[in-house]
Structure 1
């Protein structure tokens, strides 16, 4: 029933959604990926090998420098407890299929934790549900087998229905698409050991967004990184990588 309803909505709204989509693309400023390192070593303590992959949000669009973006905020948060050997592999516009291809192109090095931030472009590009789930399975399998990933964190899709850059009903429709992908992702992850979905953890407030009304801003990246660091730290604590007094 849900699949039929979504198909009917897509067909019925298609003309208006197409016009609004073109209007948004013409009106919205294309923000660049911020400068800064995309690999390095930071911190002290037990070694933690970290990989961040994904789309423009993983690449830090909306921040002025990688230090203020997801990679900079996350590695800094983890550096209090670990010597973090990290790598960022992300690109604006990437869908899940593109992220899979990017991961396949990496050297076969091991990672303790992998953060995956992808899905908004799949929602706006209307990736089919079967392709979405197959892509998740293939990506996580690749990360676990080829990169020995102990922990794979899939970032929850953001509430696209609240993005101020999008007019109605496009905002509502794309929000619905994102919610469907996120719900499917959460159901799939429930049966995957060493894999979890983590929300960004910041309010949909204009202060937290970039001025394009579509991407996270520095405050959002800081909150998002904090939520991810907490989950990575908790996992490493269970594995015995951290002293028990560390919260």
Structure 2
């Protein structure tokens, strides 16, 4: 049985003219930051072999950082390299949804020990329902753990979009509520897979954690994110 309709869902229709105008304004005025330069695969460190995959959308690709060394993948590899020989690979693209990432990984013939995923923002902005998002995330996790035999999947929670500096009200409120719904669906999907865990990034309210576009993480935010992921990998 479907649950009760939330207030933000009820108000979307009367707010539609405002929401559309704000969305167009954000798209027109937001900086279109490029994906960072640098290697997206490599091998470094010392110790036991660890095959690492970072997959997902623009945040997994490192948008907001100037180089991959400053992005999630580079800072995570740097945190792990003192203890592991890390063989790492980034499979991420700006604009990708969960469905896009699944299709990309289905074409990839590699095995990994650990995968880190970052998805959800584009599912929100493309109006993917929470039930469809949960189904797609379940399919993605099944592919990672069964087909690709990943032993540990760290699934980054859907960001709290109401906190994005680039988003005005009421657009931030509406997108934040939908992001929270998708994150609940994500947790339901993760519960089906003992290899997977949910990482809820709860970063402080600090302007330095946002990239200049007010929409993506800064290198400092990527550092905090990488430290949390590294901790989960090493426990």
TM-score range, shorter chain: over 0.9
Q: Which runs of 5+ in 2 are unaligned?
A: none
What does the per-residue CA deviation read over 1:126-169, in whole Å, with 9 as the maximum and x for residues that have no partner? 11122101101111111112211001111012221111101100
Shift of 1:60: 0.4
Matched residue count: 233
Shift of 1:124: 1.6
Counterpart in the other structure of 1:28: 30
Counterpart in the other structure of 1:100: 102
C-alpha contact (below 8 Å) 1:114/1:151 kept by paired residues: yes
What does the per-residue CA deviation read over 1:54-99, in whole Å, with 9 as the maximum and x for residues that have no partner? 0000000000100000000001111111000110000001111111
Q: Which runs of 5+ in 1 are unaligned?
A: 235-247
- TM-score with structure 2 setting the length: 0.95
Counterpart in the other structure of 1:112: 113
What does the per-residue CA deviation read over 1:146-201, in whole Å, with 9 as the maximum and x for residues that have no partner? 21100111101222111110110001111111111112212332332111111235
C-alpha contact (below 8 Å) 1:156/1:197 kept by paired residues: yes
Inter-partner Cα distance in structure 2 for 1:73 and 1:39:
13
More off after superposition, 52-61 vs 197-206: 197-206
- TM-score with structure 1 setting the length: 0.91
What does the per-residue CA deviation read over 1:6-54, in whole Å, with 9 as the maximum and x for residues that have no partner? 5323223222111110111011110000100000001000000110100
Counterpart in the other structure of 1:60: 62
Inter-partner Cα distance in structure 2 for 1:217 and 1:31:
11
Inter-partner Cα distance in structure 1 for 2:27 and 2:161:
16
